């Protein structure tokens, strides 16, 4: 934005408004006009013309005045402009600081998120590599399975080929059988035809026999004719003899007769030839008969051989049938084998399924193993706790709260140089502080940095809270300067994430007591809440809740201890609680009555101790056991004045009067630790009230709350030193308070 030139103005005319005389009008429009005025010279007046000179001078003076006025106005304009610019500059500056604060917060958050992500990424990579290797193994086993399956399939193929061959063979054999049966039939037919031929031959033979007998009859007839002829010859010769007379005739007759005889002889010869021929024929026929007989024998032999052949064939047929049967058996076996192969294939499939399931099972086991690791870690923590318990120390936890964003005091906003060593042996257990170039290291049972959530903190004390149910006396203190996060740690803010240790402890106690019901445990619980300010007790649960400390004589609030270690405060309201809802109501009521105190009596509130007490009595109807535990949760008064005094040392008396009870608490702790005969419990109401819990019977834990602002570094060092001294104290071994009625 440019600087605006003041508007041109008739200065002298404004001046001359008051005067009567006319004067030259002078206008100032810029630097040149002024320079011109300054360069103006006295005009031709003699040295002695004083009047003229005076006039001239006064004129000049008037002009100068107008000039000065013009300058003043110009300056006014400039001043206004400057004012405006300064305003914008301031606004810009404040915006800038705000932005810076937001930016640093955002950077911190991003860093934390980045860290968390890298951690998670590493975890994921690890699991990934593990899973990869497992997957590889699984793939290998799967490949093996596949190979086996292939083998089974190939054997099955072979078997099917065998089966095919065998069925083919069976077919061939049945064909052969058919053929053999055919031949058999044909042979039988041949046999019958041979038998027919045989019978024909026998018929022929009988016919030949008949011819032979006919021929023999003819022969005998011939012999008879021959005999008749001989008789005739004889009669002829006698006739010859008788008729010698007629010899001529007779010779002729004789001649004739001779011829006749010759003829007869030829006939005889022929007959003889015939007979010979017949005999030869007979012989022939005989031979033929023999032949026939032979043939018959041969054919019967053939028949026999045929029948033997048939029987042999029948035998082969039988053997083949046997073979067929064996082949059928083999076939059955082969089918069986095939079935088996199928079964093995199915088995391979089921094996594969099984492998898959195995992989699944292994994955499940992996998850289980991981959870076991987590459990193991928890167990380690538990064992660590046990070790501490055995040492008998007061446990000390340090908690650093985050920088608060819109704190009224912006000077203390930059953080003190607090760091948390990350080496293995001190991670989560140590804190380093830089003060004037000097590094101070402290270590405690546990250190929570500004990132620790209420849940993170509670996880560490939950076991301790648990032991109240087992019959221990448990005391948890919060120590630290005002504004360091004591109330935040103990009570927290409403809402699930921000709940403090008191509501979380109570929730856990109710949850656990309910789960123990199944084992026969029955618990009865009573709660009370009080505030100690200036050595006077205020009942936070009193009906009609007083807004100020009621010093009237009606309420005495005297503390008494009975020989059994029970503590009572007279007139104190004690309320039976049966559920989380009951306790939540009480806490709301108490925080309200305390917050009223905060607004009306700020000084008292930050100088007062808040004590929440839960008495737990449990009995087991199954075992007859009885336990009595006490849980004390204490939000101590701000420690800053005590810390300051102990740093200077010589003003201890004053401090004790201002903050007696807090120093009394440390006196008691150190006296117990030193093993002094006299422990000054009675020096303050707080220590007297907590006497049974501090006498070494209880499990005690102290939270040391730290503000991170650089402006608090002095208080912070004092708190850390005090905490270190407390951490080194042994106050004895905690005892359970139990009894058995049986």
Which residues does the annotation place in the binding site for ATP?
Answer: 480-487
**Rounded least distance, CB 489 to Mg ion, Å:** 9
* Buried/exposed code over 77-96 (b: 16+ C-beta within 10 A; e: otherwise): eeeeeeeeeeeeeeeeeeee
SS3 for 106?
Answer: helix
If binding is defined by CB under 6 A, does position 485 make contact with ligand ADP?
A: yes
| Binding window for ligand ADP (CB under 6 A); candidates: 100-108, 300-308, 567-575, 632-640 | 632-640
From the list 67, 398, 532, 637, which residue makes contact with ligand ADP (rule: CB under 6 A)?
637
Closest to 593 (Cα-Cα) out of 538, 536, 551: 538
If binding is defined by CB under 6 A, does position 613 make contact with ligand ADP?
A: no
Letters for 453-492 (x = contact with Mg ion by CB under 5 A, - = none) are ---------------------------------xx-----
Letters for 149-168 (x = contact with ligand ADP by CB under 6 A, - = none) are --------------------
Judge contact between 198 and 191, C-beta under 8 A: no
Q: Which does 402 bind (CB under 5 to 8 A by kind): ligand ADP, Mg ion, none?
A: ligand ADP
HSE of 347 in the Cβ direction (CA atoms, 13 Å)? 9
E strand or H helix that includes residue 613:
strand 609-620
> How does strand 473-479 pair with strand 698-706?
parallel
Sign of CA pseudo-dihedral 154, 156, 159, 165? negative
> How does strand 438-443 pair with strand 430-435?
antiparallel
| Binding window for ligand ADP (CB under 6 A); candidates: 345-353, 378-386, 601-609, 611-619 | 601-609
Q: How far apart are CA 447 and CA 430, in angstroms?
A: 6
Judge contact between 476 and 632, C-beta under 8 A: yes
If binding is defined by CB under 6 A, does position 404 make contact with ligand ADP?
A: yes
DSSP 555-596: ----EEE-TTS-EEETT---EEE-SHHHHHHHHHHHHHHHHH
HEC letters along 372-390: HHHHHHHHHHHHHHHHHHH
| Binding window for ligand ADP (CB under 6 A); candidates: 186-194, 389-397, 483-491, 624-632 | 483-491
Q: How far apart are CA 476 and CA 394, in angstroms?
A: 10
For ligand ADP, how many residues bind (rule: CB under 6 A)? 20
HSE of 614 in the Cβ direction (CA atoms, 13 Å)? 33
**Rounded least distance, CB 409 to ligand ADP, Å:** 10
Please identify, using beta-carbon distances, which residue of 570 and 602 lies nearer to Mg ion.
602
**Rounded least distance, CB 491 to Mg ion, Å:** 8
From the list 518, 599, 657, 741, which residue makes contact with ligand ADP (rule: CB under 6 A)?
599
**Rounded least distance, CB 572 to ligand ADP, Å:** 21
Please identify, using beta-carbon distances, which residue of 353 and 455 lies nearer to ligand ADP.
455
If binding is defined by CB under 6 A, does position 604 make contact with ligand ADP?
A: no
Q: How far apart are CA 559 and CA 567, in angstroms?
A: 7
Please identify, using beta-carbon distances, which residue of 487 and 687 lies nearer to Mg ion.
487
Q: CB within 8 A of 99, min separation 6: which ones?
A: none
Q: How far apart are CA 309 and CA 184, in angstroms?
A: 9
**Rounded least distance, CB 119 to ligand ADP, Å:** 21
| Binding window for ligand ADP (CB under 6 A); candidates: 273-281, 531-539, 542-550, 598-606 | 598-606
Distance of CA 635 to the CA centre of its chain: 42
Q: How far apart are CA 5 and CA 70, in angstroms?
A: 11
**Rounded least distance, CB 662 to ligand ADP, Å:** 11
From the list 69, 309, 545, 598, which residue makes contact with ligand ADP (rule: CB under 6 A)?
598
If binding is defined by CB under 6 A, does position 486 make contact with ligand ADP?
A: yes
From the list 62, 254, 275, 401, which residue makes contact with ligand ADP (rule: CB under 6 A)?
401
Q: Which of residues 488-527 bind ligand ADP (CB under 6 A)?
A: 488
Please identify, using beta-carbon distances, which residue of 254 and 486 lies nearer to Mg ion.
486
Binding site, annotated residues: 480-487
Letters for 130-169 (x = contact with Mg ion by CB under 5 A, - = none) are ----------------------------------------
Letters for 350-389 (x = contact with ligand ADP by CB under 6 A, - = none) are ----------------------------------------
E strand or H helix that includes residue 399:
strand 395-400
Please identify, using beta-carbon distances, which residue of 108 and 267 lies nearer to ligand ADP.
108
Q: What are the CB-based long-range contacts (under 8 Å, 24+) for 639-646?
A: 639/479, 639/480, 639/481, 639/715, 639/718, 639/719, 639/722, 640/481, 640/482, 640/715, 643/481, 643/714, 643/715, 643/718, 643/719, 643/722, 644/714, 644/715, 644/718, 646/718, 646/722
**Rounded least distance, CB 566 to ligand ADP, Å:** 29
Which spans of this chain sit near Mg ion (rule: CB under 5 A)? 486-487
Which spans of this chain sit near ligand ADP (rule: CB under 6 A)? 401-402, 404, 480, 482-488, 598-599, 602, 605-606, 635, 637-638, 705
């Amino acid at each position: 934005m440019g600087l605006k030139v003041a508007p041109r103005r008739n200065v002298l005319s404004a001046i001359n408004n008051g005067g009567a005389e006319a004067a030259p009008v002078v206008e100032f429009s810029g630097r040149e006009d002024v320079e011109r005025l300054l360069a103006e010279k006295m005009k031709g007046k003699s040295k002695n013309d004083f009047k003229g000179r005076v006039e001239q001078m006064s004129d000049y003076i008037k002009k100068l005045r107008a000039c000065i006025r013009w300058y003043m106005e110009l300056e006014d304009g400039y001043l206004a402009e400057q004012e405006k610019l300064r305003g914008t500059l301031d606004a810009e500056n404040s915006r800038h600081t705000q932005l810076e604060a937001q930016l640093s917060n955002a950077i911190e958050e991003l860093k934390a998120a980045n860290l968390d992500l890298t951690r998670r990424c590493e975890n994921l990579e690890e699991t990934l590599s593990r899973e990869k290797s497992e997957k590889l193994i699984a793939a290998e086993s799967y490949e093996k399975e596949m190979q086996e399956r292939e083998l089974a399939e190939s054997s099955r193929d072979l078997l099917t080929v065998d089966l095919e061959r065998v069925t083919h063979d069976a077919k061939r054999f049945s064909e052969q059988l058919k053929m053999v049966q055919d031949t058999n039939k044909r042979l039988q037919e041949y046999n019958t035809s041979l038998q027919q031929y045989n019978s024909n031959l026998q018929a022929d033979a009988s016919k030949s026999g008949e011819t032979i007998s006919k021929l023999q009859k003819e022969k005998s007839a011939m012999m008879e004719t021959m005999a008749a002829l001989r008789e005739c010859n004889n009669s002829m010769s006698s006739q010859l003899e008788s008729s010698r007379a007629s010899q001529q005739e007779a010779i002729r007759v004789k001649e004739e007769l001779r011829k006749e005889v010759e003829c007869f002889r030829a006939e005889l010869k022929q007959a003889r030839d015939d007979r010979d021929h017949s005999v030869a024929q007979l012989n022939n026929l005989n031979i033929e008969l023999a032949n026939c007989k032979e043939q018959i024998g041969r054919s019967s032999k053939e028949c026999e051989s045929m029948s033997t052949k048939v029987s042999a064939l029948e035998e082969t047929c039988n053997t083949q049938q046997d073979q067929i049967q064996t082949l059928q058996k083999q076939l059955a076996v082969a089918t069986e084998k095939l079935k088996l192969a199928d079964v093995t294939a199915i088995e391979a499939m089921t094996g594969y399924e099984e492998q898959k399931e195995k992989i699944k099972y292994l994955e499940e086991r992996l998850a289980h193993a991981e959870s076991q690791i987590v459990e193991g870690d928890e167990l380690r923590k538990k064992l660590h706790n046990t070790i501490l318990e055995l040492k008998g120390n007061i446990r000390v936890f340090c908690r650093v709260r985050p920088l608060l964003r819109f704190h009224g005091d912006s000077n203390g906003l930059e953080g003190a140089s607090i760091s948390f060593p990350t080496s293995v042996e001190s991670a989560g257990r140590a804190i380093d502080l830089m003060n004037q170039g000097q590094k101070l290291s402290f270590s405690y049972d546990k250190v929570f940095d500004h990132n620790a959530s209420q849940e993170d903190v509670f996880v560490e004390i939950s076991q301790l809270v648990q032991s109240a149910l087992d019959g221990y006396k448990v005391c948890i203190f919060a120590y630290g300067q005002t504004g360091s996060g004591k109330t935040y740690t103990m009570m927290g803010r409403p809402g699930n994430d921000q709940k403090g240790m008191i509501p979380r402890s109570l929730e856990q106690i109710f949850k656990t007591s309910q789960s123990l019901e199944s084992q026969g445990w029955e618990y009865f619980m009573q709660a009370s809440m009080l505030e100690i300010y200036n050595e006077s007790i205020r009942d936070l649960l009193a009906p009609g809740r007083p807004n100020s400390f009621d010093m009237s004589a009606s309420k005495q609030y005297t503390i008494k201890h009975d020989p059994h270690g029970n503590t009572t405060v007279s007139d104190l309201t004690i309320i039976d609680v049966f559920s989380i809802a009951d306790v939540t109501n009480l806490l709301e009521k108490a925080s309200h009555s305390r917050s009223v105190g905060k607004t009306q009596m700020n000084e008292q509130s930050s100088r007062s101790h808040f004590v929440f007490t839960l008495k737990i009595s449990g009995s087991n109807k199954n075992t007859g056991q009885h336990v009595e535990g006490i849980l004390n949760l204490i939000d101590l008064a701000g420690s800053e004045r005590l810390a300051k005094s102990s740093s200077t040392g010589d003003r201890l008396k004053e401090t004790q009067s201002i903050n007696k009870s807090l120093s009394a608490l440390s006196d008691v702790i150190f006296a117990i630790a030193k093993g002094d005969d006299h422990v000054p419990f009675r020096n303050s109401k707080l220590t007297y009230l907590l006497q049974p819990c501090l006498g070494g019977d209880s499990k005690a834990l102290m939270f040391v709350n730290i503000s991170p602002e650089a402006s608090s570094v002095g208080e912070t060092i004092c708190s850390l030193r005090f905490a270190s001294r407390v951490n080194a104290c042994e106050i004895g071994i905690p005892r359970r308070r139990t009894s058995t009625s049986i």
